[in-house]
Amino acid sequence: MSKFILSDMREALNSVRPLLSKVDDVWKKYHIENGQVKAQNRNMRAGAPLMFDESFIVPALDFDKAVKAFHADPEVLIGPKQLVFKAGKSRVTLPRLSTIEEIKVEELDGETIELDTLFMENIKKLFPLIESSDNPSFQNTIICVKGTMVATLRGRVIVSCDYEPFEKLQCLLPLEVIKFLVAKKIHPEKMILTKNGVQFIWEDGSWVISSLFKGNVPKVLFEMMNSIGDPEWEPDKEHYEAIADVIAVGAEMVFFTKDGTEAKLTHGEFNTDTLFPLPEEGKSIWNPKHLQIIMGLGDTFDFTTWPQPAKFKGEGVRGVCAPMLG
């Protein structure tokens, strides 16, 4: 019988588990082999180092439960069709599974980009904008191009974060690998890019490989980003509170007027004396949730552009927010 270190196994499983969060049962397996825990789905595969030399494939959900329940390092008896894990008086028996295909662990042969902590800081800023879709498009990705990382919320809010290592890069990172990076929390050390795929590698030896999203990005998106000048207006605490209050009462539209800020409710209205900069028309209309996003990213703004998109800038970030019309 061999034995694995419980804390080591838990750490390795935590590293690859996000890849299996929403997949068909046929993919919910852990491949434990060659000193690694590995997992895969239709578009990605991932691995993490493990101080255990035995090899077997095990049902992911049941193995997670077993590893969580054990209070001591379990011994492992590996049979041709089943696996027995024993720790103290506890024993778990699981089937030994076959594989769909071998999970390869070699590094991709492509362009290597060293990553710093700013990469994950940008990912965390852009991630809230990206939504799932049954028909994915560039709107469900982070666009890495010409020294920037760009994401959009349904084309209504567009945010660009500076990232110098991507100066000569162009690729679209799909939502699935972005979710994996966010769940991992620790920033990767490097990224290897090929024509069709990307690999991220961490200092501890863990890794993930994903296909890239293939699609076109409308030129208008970059035209909007390039049109941003230097907005100068800086909100204070009162303005942030006004937007938070509008969201709290459930309003879906907020009006900036010469008399203050107002929002229409189902059977009434919400008003505050807080004044925002106005365009020549004397009023503007916005989605309060969109305003909350951009005011959480930027330092300076220009809302006088209504009915054209508002512009904002912050340290290493800039973007636009489309208005509501009325």
Mean pLDDT of 7-17: 96
**Which ranges of the chain would DSSP assign to H, the alpha helix?**
6-16, 60-69, 117-126, 175-184, 219-226, 237-248, 288-295
Query: What's the pLDDT score for residue 199?
Result: 97
CA–chain centroid gap for 243, Å, is 25
Which of these CATH numbers, 3.40.50.300, 3.40.50.150, 3.10.150.10, 3.50.50.60, describes 2-95?
A: 3.10.150.10
Q: How buried is 140 (Cβ within 10 angstroms: 0-12 exposed, 13-18 middle, 19+ buried)? A: buried
- For 168, the token pair is 């000569």
90-104, 206-220, 257-271 — which is least confidently predicted? Answer: 90-104
Q: Where in the chain is the domain with CATH 3.10.150.10?
A: 2-95, 111-226, 237-321
Asked if 87 and 71 touch (Cβ cutoff 8 Å), the reply is yes
Asked if 187 and 120 touch (Cβ cutoff 8 Å), the reply is yes
The model's pLDDT over 61-84, given as tens digits with 9 standing for 90+, comes to 999 999 999 999 999 999 999 999
Confidence category of residue 266, pLDDT binned at 50, 70, 90: confident
Predicted confidence (pLDDT) at residue 153 exceeds the cutoff of 70 = yes
- For 86, the token pair is 């024993």
Asked if 80 and 52 touch (Cβ cutoff 8 Å), the reply is no
Query: What's the pLDDT score for residue 59?
Result: 95
Predicted confidence (pLDDT) at residue 320 exceeds the cutoff of 80 = yes
CATH number of 237-321: 3.10.150.10
CATH fold, domain 111-226, is DNA Polymerase III; Chain A, domain 2 (3.10.150)
Query: What's the pLDDT score for residue 105?
Result: 65
CA distances from residue 2 to 35, 53, 59, 84 in whole angstroms, order as listed:
13, 9, 19, 11
The model's pLDDT over 97-145, given as tens digits with 9 standing for 90+, comes to 987 566 766 778 999 999 999 999 999 999 999 998 888 899 999 999 9
